[in-house]
């Protein structure tokens, strides 16, 4: 990104539906930090999206606080970037309703996440789950984001956001910035430690399949040691034939910055036991500062709520400007 140009805008959100995993961290959060250093960024806890799946009220509140604290612990609010909670900015719901009316049933029916989640939560296939990507489009379009850093699983939702924006602009002129997904090269897909053909997911019922960002060092090393690999006993990157080892190499590379070739050389004469131990230790070191900062922030609820309130005010100002413009274009009466 060229220094002479005005800074590009970035927005991304994460749902407070459990403690983030290493997948969320490398696929999303770490890229957020890097992009926040170069761009004008806004990051949010997507608590409106989270109720598409039933949440226990007490637990939900705790998870929103925890996720927000984590974003602060990662330093995402540095350089004047905004870190806020989606439900504190009502414009998200307002614009989502409007955009619902500019989105076709047919195009939404193609969303693979909807199909997957309706199977997973067959007893609660609610309309919110169906229109989930429209709320996501509202999040993005309110802040005129140029780039949206996400993991590869969200690409389809970004495509529909672009379609909605282009359609609206086609009718009313240039209202929305058409955003582009930003999918990091490394870490775009961290897979499950127990079934490396599936993505690592914080809602997996098998806790050995993921590493949570708050797991204790000994738990991290233990989970790494029980990661599924293969019988070749050779550290070599081959996603198709060696998905388990390739996943561990990706994680190690994300932690240390080493290339796959360097990793292959480092472990050329070593077995999987040594390799897994080293990957575990690298993850522990990567997460240590985040965990320490998180522990400090979580002790101070008053501070967290103050930061939430300040940021909600700034976010609202930006969101309100976009919403007003949209409503004016449609023909609503301004008072
Ligand atoms: P759930 O398990 O509840 O479906 P999730 O772990 O997929 O949730 P989300 O809140 O849906 O997490 O995703 C937050 C961000 O993390 C998104 O940008 C998503 O693309 C990214 N992400 C999630 N899982 C992975 C993964 N295994 N590898 C890389 N990125 C991921
Ligand atoms: N759907 C996303 C979370 C999300 C999001 C957004 C990501 C909600 N709104 C806007 C990017 C931009 C998810 O589940 N990962």
Rounded to 5 degrees, φ, ψ at 44 are: -135, 155
Q: Whose CA is nearest to atom 23 of ligand 1?
A: 24
Ligand at minimal distance from the CA of 211 is 1
Tell me if 15 CB under 6 Å of ligand 1. yes
Active-site residue set: 117, 199, 202
Q: Which of 12, 47, 145, 153 to mutate to test the pocket of ligand 1 (most atoms within 8 A of CB)?
A: 153
So what's the pLDDT on residue 185? 73
The pTM score is: 0.90
Calculate how far, in angstroms, residue 319's C-alpha sits from the geometric centre of ligand 2: 17
Q: 243 CA to middle of ligand 1, Å?
A: 19
Find out whether the beta carbon of 201 lies less than 6 Å from any atom of ligand 1: yes
Give distance in angstroms: CA of 158 to centre of ligand 2.
9
Which atom of ligand 1 sits closest to the CA of residue 191? 27
Q: Which atom of ligand 1 is nearest to the CA of 117?
A: 4
Low-confidence ranges of the chain (pLDDT < 50): none
What separation in Å is there between the alpha carbon of 108 and the centre of ligand 2?
16
Closest C-alpha among 90, 169, 103 to residue 132: 103
Q: What is the pLDDT of residue 250?
A: 95
Instruction: Check residue 16 and give its pLDDT.
Output: 95
Confidence at residue 1, expressed as pLDDT on a 0 to 100 scale: 52
> Which ligand neighbours the alpha carbon of 199 most closely?
1
Tell me the domains of the chain and their CATH numbers. Answer: 9-187+307-330 (3.40.50.620), 207-295 (1.10.240.10)
């Amino acid at each position: 990104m060229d220094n002479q140009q005005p800074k590009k805008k970035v927005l991304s959100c994460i749902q407070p539906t459990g403690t983030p995993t290493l997948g969320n961290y490398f696929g999303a959060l770490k890229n957020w930090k890097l992009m926040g250093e170069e761009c004008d960024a806004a990051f949010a806890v997507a608590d409106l999206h989270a109720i598409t799946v039933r949440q226990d009220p007490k637990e939900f509140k705790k998870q929103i606080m925890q996720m927000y604290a984590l974003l602060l612990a990662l330093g995402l609010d540095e350089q004047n970037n905004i870190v806020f909670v989606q439900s504190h900015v009502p414009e998200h719901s307002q614009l989502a309703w409007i955009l619902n009316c500019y989105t076709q049933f047919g195009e939404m029916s193609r969303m693979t996440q909807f199909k997957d989640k309706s199977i997973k939560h067959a007893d609660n296939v609610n309309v919110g789950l169906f229109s989930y990507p429209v709320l996501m489009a509202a999040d993005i379009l309110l802040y005129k984001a140029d780039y949206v850093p996400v993991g590869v699983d969200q690409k389809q939702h970004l495509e529909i956001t672009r379609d909605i924006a282009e359609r609206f602009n086609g009718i009313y002129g240039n209202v929305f910035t058409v955003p582009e997904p930003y999918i990091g090269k490394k870490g775009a897909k961290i897979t499950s430690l127990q079934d490396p053909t599936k993505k690592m997911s914080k809602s997996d019922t098998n806790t050995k399949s993921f590493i949570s960002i708050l797991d204790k060092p000994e738990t991290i090393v233990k989970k790494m040691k029980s990661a599924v690999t293969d019988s070749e006993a050779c550290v070599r990157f081959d996603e198709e034939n060696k998905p388990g080892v390739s996943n561990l190499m990706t994680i190690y590379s994300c932690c240390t910055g080493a290339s796959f070739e360097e990793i292959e050389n480092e472990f050329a004469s070593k077995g999987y036991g040594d390799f897994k131990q080293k990957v575990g230790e690298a993850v522990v070191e990567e997460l240590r500062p985040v965990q320490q900062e998180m522990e400090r922030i979580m002790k101070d609820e008053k501070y967290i709520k103050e930061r939430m309130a300040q940021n909600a005010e700034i976010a609202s100002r930006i969101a309100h400007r976009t919403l007003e413009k949209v409503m004016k274009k449609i023909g609503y009466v301004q008072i």
